[in-house]
């Protein structure tokens, strides 16, 4: 039967200056999702989940981000009776702040869309992907799924209306992402955040954000570096990440443009103006974690401009 295999990349959300509104995709790690037509049943069934280590993801379609994303898409396309098998091959850590649930949701939507002859554009798949992501954390937000689907750096003006925009990527921009073996529950990452922001902090944060966007459009790497400061969220969340200050200091000392928490953490990203530098910066960050007795994985990547990739289609 017809089968589609896709790769859905990890993503870095928030990006220091854009809490809940900015995200970008990286080349590796990511998930592989396989969608296969199966006339023996109707609707979406998850037939395999691999790579979860000692953790468990739900096989129940309605509780799984990939399942919900695929199921809602089938309904929208008027094909709820079509039988689709989904295999989810996790090839990235989850609960890591790297958009694992978003990758599964986006990969499933693209795979099922392709399985049915690609009736929808990537942009049109966003809504179903966000519905899938919502199952994982209970909130309707596109800051991971949007860059995962379409690649690049994306801005979400409004999650309510999914008003999403593609931002330009400065030449040479690379990222070092370090995932420490620390567990942060999303609910803890939210719980440490005050529901109020001092006005003076909001003003500094908006100045950083506006100049970050300006730097992207003007390819101004120096301004990008001056802009990459999270005055609002990082000071509250960094306490959850052992060694954060030292890891960040190591990144900046080696020449990173900026360094902050990826998504809700514990992964930490550092933007750099070349791949060579990102490699050196990442190794410095790992060494700093090690000083605190924390093992980590390093991923070095340019900004991924492709989003979900179709690896194979077999009829």
In angstroms, rounded to a whole number, what is the distance separating the alpha carbons of residues 88 and 57?
10
State yes or no: residue 191 binds a second copy (CB under 8 A).
no
**Binding mask 120-159 vs a second copy (x if CB under 8 A, - otherwise)?**
-----------------------------------xxxx-
Burial tier of 47 (Cβ tally within 10 Å: 0-12, 13-18, 19+): middle
To a second copy, the closest distance from the beta carbon of 268 in angstroms equals: 21
Interface pick for a second copy out of 51, 58, 172, 207 (rule CB under 8 A)? 207
Measured from the CB atom, the residue of 74 and 126 that comes closer to a second copy is 126
203 is a contact residue toward a second copy (CB under 8 A): yes
Q: Which is nearer to a second copy, 88 or 215 (CB)?
A: 215
8 Å CB contact between 219 and 173? no
CB 46 within 8 A of CB 83: no
133 given a catalytic annotation: yes
> Considering 133, 134, 154, 234, which one is annotated as catalytic?
133
Q: Which residue has the tokens 């098998």?
A: 85
Nearer to a second copy, 176 or 232 (CB): 232
Q: How far apart are CA 26 and CA 33, in angstroms?
A: 17
Is the Cβ–Cβ distance between 141 and 100 less than 8 Å?
no
Which residue, among 137, 81, 107, has the nearest Cα to 4 in the 3D structure? 107
Please report, as residue ranges, which positions from 6 to 35 form the binding site for a second copy (by CB under 8 A).
18-22
217 in contact with a second copy (CB under 8 A)? yes
Answer yes or no whether residue 169 interacts with a second copy by CB under 8 A: no
Is residue 312 within the footprint of a second copy (CB under 8 A)?
Answer: no
Report helix angle 244-253 to 275-291, nearest 10: 150
16 is in an annotated binding site: no
Is 65:101 a contact under the CB 8 Å cutoff? yes
Mind telling me the catalytic residues?
Answer: 133, 186
| Binding stretches for a second copy (CB under 8 A) | 18-22, 155-158, 163, 165, 167, 193-200, 202-211, 213-214, 217, 223, 226-227, 232
């Amino acid at each position: 039967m017809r089968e589609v295999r896709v790769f859905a990349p990890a993503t870095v959300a928030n990006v220091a200056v854009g809490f809940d509104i900015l995200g970008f995709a990286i080349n590796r790690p990511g998930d592989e999702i396989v969608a296969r037509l199966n006339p023996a049943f109707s609707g979406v069934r998850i037939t395999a989940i691999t790579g979860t280590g000692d953790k468990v993801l739900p096989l129940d379609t309605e509780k799984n981000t990939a399942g919900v994303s695929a199921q809602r898409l089938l309904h929208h396309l008027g094909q709820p009776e079509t039988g689709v098998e989904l295999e989810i091959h996790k090839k990235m850590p989850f609960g890591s702040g790297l958009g694992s649930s978003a990758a599964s949701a986006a990969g499933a939507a693209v795979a099922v869309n392709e399985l049915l002859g690609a009736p929808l554009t990537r942009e049109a798949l966003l809504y179903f992907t966000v519905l899938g992501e919502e199952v994982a954390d209970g909130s309707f937000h596109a800051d991971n799924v949007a860059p995962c689907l379409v690649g690049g750096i994306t801005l979400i003006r409004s999650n309510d209306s999914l008003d999403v925009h593609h931002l330009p990527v400065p030449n040479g921009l690379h990222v070092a992402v370090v995932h420490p073996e620390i567990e942060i529950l999303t609910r803890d990452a939210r719980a440490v955040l005050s529901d109020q922001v001092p006005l003076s902090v909001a003003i500094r944060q908006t100045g950083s954000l506006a100049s970050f966007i300006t730097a992207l459009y003007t390819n101004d790497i120096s301004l990008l570096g001056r802009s990459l400061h999270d005055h609002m969220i990082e000071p509250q969340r960094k306490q959850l990440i052992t060694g954060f200050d030292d890891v960040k200091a190591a990144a900046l000392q080696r020449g990173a443009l900026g360094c902050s928490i990826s998504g809700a953490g514990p992964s930490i990203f550092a933007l750099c103006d070349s791949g060579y530098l990102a490699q050196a910066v990442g190794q410095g960050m790992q060494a700093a974690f090690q000083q605190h007795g924390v093992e980590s994985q390093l991923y070095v990547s340019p900004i991924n401009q492709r989003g979900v990739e179709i690896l194979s289609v077999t009829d």
